[in-house]
Amino acid sequence: MAQKHLSIFIPGSVIAETKDLRIRTYKIGLIGRSASIFKADRIVIYSDDSSNEEVKFISDVLTYMNTPQYLRKKVFPITKELRNVGILPPLRTPHHPTGKPGEGDYRQGLTLKRTRKGTVVDIGAGRPALCKEKLSVNKILSFKVDKITKDKITIVPDKPDSYWGYQTISTHKNLYQSIKSLEPKPDLVIGTSRYAVPITSVLDEVKDCLKGSKHTAILFGGPYSGLHDLISDQQERGIVDLEVNTIPSQGTKTVRTEEAITSTLSVFNLLSNAE
């Protein structure tokens, strides 16, 4: 079966309701956790009324979350913006192993330096591993453990077929331009809005669309602007294939973006796996 891709689009204004760094970090943590639970492999941050600083903060926290624990101190310097990352929930995804690697295991590793024999890589094994290929330095790449001996660990560039975390993309463009510029391009774009038709009334149509899609993109609005505000031009709205309300009869006046993401991805997960 061909691998399917899921991208979610979130606005930079998702954290605009609070200036508290701890609360902002926590909100982003909920988004990263939900994306991982439901196997989103891209989180696209588009610009609405948000500042570049807000977009960068969201991107940094999401990237930190997705980085294996054994590499974080080497990749991320201690900054004011990341001082609350201790409250982030662990992802516990396959690319975040907790034990030492064994032969045949897949790991993400940080390329440290190039030598005559290849590239020295930190894969969280307590000692460096060697890849015989000469790779770019200071990059996080995926590897398979080829052989472990008393003297050395040999690895090869490789990636498993299982879920392997998400990529964070900051487009610095509006929502429409962000959708247009995403590569590979989604073949199914779904908008979420409280003003759209309840998903319960179009279940069969949604299931059929999901079944035929290889790359689904799900769009979320922000605390101050919904999709109708963000894509108001009639021609631009044609880029959205389906628009649905995934929380019909909501009991609260508003649904926060991080809450909408969890609820929506849960619904689409059920529909994607329904017979």
How many CB atoms are closer than 10 A to CB 147? 12
Give the burial string for 26-45 (b: 16+ CB within 10 Å, else e): bbbbbbbbbbbbbbbbbbbb
Q: Please check the confidence at residue 182 and state whether its pLDDT lies above 90.
A: yes
Tens digit of each residue's pLDDT (9 = 90 or more) over 121-153: 999 999 999 999 999 999 999 999 999 999 999
Q: What mean pLDDT comes out for the span 53-79?
A: 95
Q: How confident is the model at residue 275 (pLDDT cuts 50, 70, 90)?
A: low
- The answer to whether residue 195 scores a pLDDT higher than 70 is yes
pTM for the whole structure: 0.94
Token pair belonging to 37: 């639970």
* Confidence category of residue 49, pLDDT binned at 50, 70, 90: confident
Nearest to 182 by CA among 1, 3, 5: 5
Q: Where are the domains of the chain?
A: 5-91+168-272, 106-157
- Asked if residues 171 and 7 have their Cβ atoms less than 8 Å apart, the reply is no
Q: Which fold has domain 106-157?
A: OB fold (Dihydrolipoamide Acetyltransferase, E2P) (2.40.50)
Question: pLDDT digits over 202-260, tens only?
Answer: 999 999 999 999 999 999 999 888 888 888 777 788 999 999 999 999 999 999 999 99
Tokens of residue 23, six digits? 């609360």
If one looks up domain 5-91+168-272 in CATH, what number appears?
3.40.1280.10
